[in-house]
Structure 1
Amino acid sequence: MPDSTAECTAAHFLSGWVSNFGAPVTIITDQGCSSSLTPGVDALPIILLTWRATEKEDLHHTPADLVYWEDLRLPGQFAAPGPPAGHALAFLPVLRQAMANLRPTPPRPPPSRPTHFPADLRDAAAVFLRTGATTGPLQPPYVGPYLVLHMGEKYVTLEI
């Protein structure tokens, strides 16, 4: 850490601990509040924590579940219930503003690549299919041959 200001300590704690393991149950400090609070929010650790704590629809688990076998403790879960006091009141509007400014990134459209369809394939009676899987040194990357039932403009119907 370059210095022991509240801003630097909070950023280091968020990026080094909370974003990787979630919020701890208890935080013990020996310094107390040793400087005036000038909060600066670096969004990356919070974004990473959010990603690790978000359930994936296809897996029905969070990445943290799959890695640690338990849920991450989020920052709101380790604070004692009740109204914030002192320096936390000064930090709260800045944190709220930083969270309000975060916007989800829209999904990228699939790339539009021109398809290549070899001319001599139009007359083929049977074809081999590339599996796409990683194969061993003596395993063929193709399966088949498969009988061509119909040759369309953009697709081929095979008898499998």
Structure 2
Amino acid sequence: MAGQLLEASWTLHNVEQRFATILDVAEAILRRQRHFFEFGPMAMKPMGLKEIAEEVGIHESTVSRVTSNKYMSTPLGVFELKYFFSRAMVSASGSACSGTAIRGLVKDIIEAERQAAPLSDADITRQLADQGLVVARRTVTKYRQMLRIESVERRRRQA
């Protein structure tokens, strides 16, 4: 019975430690992505696992494991913790922008388009370039599909 009690104690300790690690990582994400919570997806900053790992004092692989299949409820909705990580994309001015922010811009551009004349992915690419963001047309297509937005042909037919 003493052995089982010891094993239960260790299990409880491990669960508490795991919870504390998840909480530390989530709090670090909140601190780094504060602007996202104030202004939405276009304010998302590029952020890597390494940055959070260094801030929390754990290994990158631990951050990866901790953020997989874990969700955060926010005033903007429920997001997987992995959502907040993205590589930096450099704009023409040299500033860094996250893929999430660019997806937000793509969504805004499409929502602002005239229904009678929807924009092609190439048109969206040109508009992003006018804003100083050099993004390939294929990337715009990928982001549009991730956002579950129909192609220009389907949007024309729907109009």
Short-chain TM bin: under 0.3
Normalised to the residue count of structure 1, the TM-score between the two structures is 0.21
Q: Relative contact order (alpha carbons < 8 A, sep ≥ 6): 1 or 2 greater?
A: 2
Higher Rg: 1
